[in-house]
Chain A
Amino acid sequence: SSELTQDPAVSVALGQTIRITCQGDNVRKFHANWYQQKPGQAPVVVIYGTTTRPSGIPDRFSGSSSGDTASLTISGTQAEDEADYYCESRAISDDHPVFGGGTTLTVL
């Protein structure tokens, strides 16, 4: 089982704001990263270091963390944001990378 827990699926109306969460004690100690994966494609990082947005990623994507929960917020969600989102951090036991189970985002 994953040390990082994500809701399997969430939905949001077009243009609205959605928060996708990732829960685990890992994120109290380590940074969280977020990856977007569309069908048939490789994952793409949309947030790294908990809050940093890579160049080329729209500013509607933002990251935050509080306690044992890291969050990815998409403001003004667009149809093209429909994808699977995975959080990633470090395992407490051995500092190795570990992924959450992923959240499927549906844009209504």
Chain B
Amino acid sequence: QVQLQESGPGLVKPSETLSLTCAVSGGSVTDNYWSWLRQSPGKGLEWLGHIYYSGSSGDTHYKPSLKSRVLISIDGAKNQFSLKLSSLTAADTAIYYCARLNVETAVLTADLNWFDPWGPGTLVTVSS
């Protein structure tokens, strides 16, 4: 089955840019939507954005409040997708998860969309 694994630095300085990668195994990134989410310490879950593979680039959607700082890209050759988050502050300290966004088109109801599977997550601390 599809498995995901996040990788990247555990510590980043304020004002810098975070770069994370999610390696996909057991499936192809050219299928489905792929997402980044995060969870601040002791807090709830937050969707950051997702991407759908479209040729050499991707069709992206971002959380509006983060849109100016977030960039998600996808690499079909390496079977992975990535997150860049710029202008970091302490508020960006969180566990960052990648996940597949499953989409099922429905006829009589709204489409079904759900996150599964998730990577194990990687803790990113923003501190000088």
Interface residues of A (CB under 8 A from B): 2, 29-31, 33, 35, 41-45, 48-49, 52, 54, 86, 88, 90, 94, 96-102
Q: Interface code B81-123, partner A: CB below 8 Å = 1, 0 otherwise?
A: 0000000000000000100011010000111111110111100
* B11 part of interface (Cβ distance < 8 Å): no
Interface residues of B (CB under 8 A from A): 35, 44-47, 61, 63-64, 97, 101-102, 104, 109-116, 118-121
Nearest 8 Cβ contacts at the A-B interface:
A48-B114, A49-B112, A42-B118, A97-B47, A99-B45, A33-B114, A45-B116, A30-B110
With a CB–CB cut-off of 8 A, which chain B residues contact A100? 44
Please report the number of residue pairs spanning A and B whose Cβ atoms sit closer than 8 angstroms. 63
B118 & A98 in contact (Cβ 8 Å cutoff): no
With a CB–CB cut-off of 8 A, which chain A residues contact B113? 31, 33, 90, 97
A43 & B115 in contact (Cβ 8 Å cutoff): yes
**Which one of B104, B112, B113, B119 has the highest number of Cβ atoms from chain A below 10 Å of its Cβ?**
B113
Q: Which of these, B45, B61, B102, B112, contacts A102 with CB under 8 Å?
A: B45
